[in-house]
Amino acid sequence: MATSITTSLGLEHMANNLAEDYTLDDDINISGDSDWTPVGSSTTPFTGSLIGSMDGDLPKYYIIGLTISSYNSYLGLFGYLSSADVKHIGFSDVSITIRYNNTFVGTVAGYATDSNIWRVYIDGEIVINGSGTKSDIGGIVGKEVDCSIWLNTITIAMSLKYNYSNVGGIVGRADDGYISTCNSYITINTTNDSGSNVIGGVAGLSYECNISKTKCVGSITASECDYVGGIIGFGATTVDSAGKLSNNGFYGIIEAHDYVGGVAGCITKTHLYFNYVLCGIIAHNYVGGLIGFYTGGVSCTVQYNFVAGSLDGNLYVSGMVGRINQTGISLSKCVSGIKFIDGATGNINRMFQYNTAGIYASDCYAWVEMRLNGSTVTSSDDTDVNGKDLATDDFWTDDQVFSTSFYAITLTWSATSFDISDNKYYKLPMNDDYDDFIDKMLEMDVAVFILPYIYPYEL
């Protein structure tokens, strides 16, 4: 029979029997504990369960005021989960501050393997400060290995400073396993850092993890950071059938450095199906509405994806994939509606830019409006279309068909933007041209999935 927990002392006593099953049967306020000691460690993990109950769609009971301020690793309510269950638990007023050489940090657990984390609701903040290297930091779990993370909702503010990597709104690093039907409401801000940080609205680094039906809403401000995406920062797999991103959505704003995408900053082999992006992105190089940079060399399928918003970058800026660097990727039935704004200066492409043969593309559509201060625009998929300069208005004509089955249609964009003060983040167009936009999607069967999401999420 499970042990009932109704007090803060009961929570602490979980450390005395790490294989026990527990139930959360009351709200517990632990805000008076200025530095919570995580339950379980890498040598003695928690292998039991902590199960609450639901009141409709929300947890009935909450853990209030979880506070951690530490120089250690394996930080969270649990330090390390192994074959454990955490379900139907709410967390409010979470505050985690990490300072030096911290690895594996999350609200529920720093590290979790072969565990289930279901229907957890979190509201809080994570602050990364101080010197040293800090990695695998997530709103729910720092690093998961072969876990099921399902139907969770998190509202998290992350403030990142100095050396860190693999940071995600839900999971810092996801190895194998599944993340499904989750909602991530994020505000991520970074200062005084640069380099390969790997930041994602859902997961920082995804290695052969399947992420599906998950929505991320919010902003990532990481102007000096590389590998930044609305869903994942970097996706990798060595197995063709592993590592899928499907039916995910990102609504928001990203400001980063290189390798930046509305879904993924960079992928190797990871497959993308039915993802949708409504966003504004400002970055430097390798900027894509869907993927910033692809490098793989084996079969990778990108199908039925939808992107709308604005892009601002220097080099290799494209409506769908900023730069394709190796063979093996196949794009089909994707829609891109993009406004390229004034900062975009070179290698600007409707759908993608590539430096290798062996790219397969069909039935993709691009709606584009260019605002490039007269700079020359190149297009790798067909550089000499009817002898017209791609930067001129007479090129963007209705139903212009390219040799690779691409279409480009001029669109009049709405004046409404995510950030009216600098007019950089444009929402979807709301005008007469929209009917043609929908017609094209219906022709390619994308609208069945996309139509519920075509109106911008109000941030």
Beta-bridged to residue 337, according to DSSP, are: 308, 367
Average pLDDT on 3-13 reads: 96
Rounded to whole angstroms, what are the CA distances from 205 to 209, 317, 328, 371, 447?
Answer: 9, 22, 22, 34, 30
The count of C-alpha atoms lying within 13 angstroms of the C-alpha of 437, restricted to the half-sphere facing its C-beta, is 25
pLDDT above 80: residue 385? no
pLDDT above 50: residue 415? no
Query: Residue 328 — pLDDT band, cuts 50, 70, 90?
Result: confident
Locate tokens 């995510």: which residue? 418
Predicted pLDDT at 290: 95
Q: 322: helix, coil or strand?
A: strand
Q: What percent of the chain has pLDDT over 90?
A: 49
Predicted pLDDT at 202: 97
pLDDT above 90: residue 83? yes
pLDDT one-digit tens code per residue, 217-238: 889 999 889 999 999 999 988 7
Q: Report domain extents, the chain.
A: 3-453
Predicted pLDDT at 439: 53
CB 201 within 8 A of CB 155: no
Predicted pLDDT at 67: 95
Nearest to 66 by CA among 55, 75, 57: 75
Say how many C-beta atoms besides its own lie within 10 A of residue 71's C-beta.
Answer: 12
Average pLDDT on 152-161 reads: 92
Mean pLDDT, all residues of the chain: 79
Average pLDDT on 48-56 reads: 97
Predicted pLDDT at 82: 98
Least confident span in 172-181, 334-343, 449-458: 449-458
pLDDT higher for 323 or 47? 47
pLDDT one-digit tens code per residue, 89-125: 999 999 999 877 789 999 999 999 999 999 999 999 9
Nearest to 170 by CA among 137, 139, 212: 139
Locate tokens 């279901």: which residue? 118
pLDDT above 90: residue 25? yes
Average pLDDT on 36-63 reads: 97
Spatial CB neighbours of 452, under 8 Å, sequence gap ≥ 6: none
Query: Residue 396 — pLDDT band, cuts 50, 70, 90?
Result: very low
pLDDT above 60: residue 395? no
The backbone region for 254, taken as left when phi is positive above 0, alpha when psi lies in -120 to 50, beta otherwise, is beta
Predicted pLDDT at 217: 87
Predicted pLDDT at 441: 47
The count of C-alpha atoms lying within 13 angstroms of the C-alpha of 155, restricted to the half-sphere facing its C-beta, is 5
Query: Residue 336 — pLDDT band, cuts 50, 70, 90?
Result: confident
CB 192 within 8 A of CB 225: no
Predicted pLDDT at 218: 87
pLDDT above 70: residue 22? yes
pTM, full prediction? 0.84
pLDDT above 90: residue 79? yes
Query: Residue 257 — pLDDT band, cuts 50, 70, 90?
Result: very high
pLDDT above 60: residue 377? no
pLDDT higher for 158 or 306? 158
CB 160 within 8 A of CB 190: yes
Predicted pLDDT at 167: 94
Predicted pLDDT at 279: 81
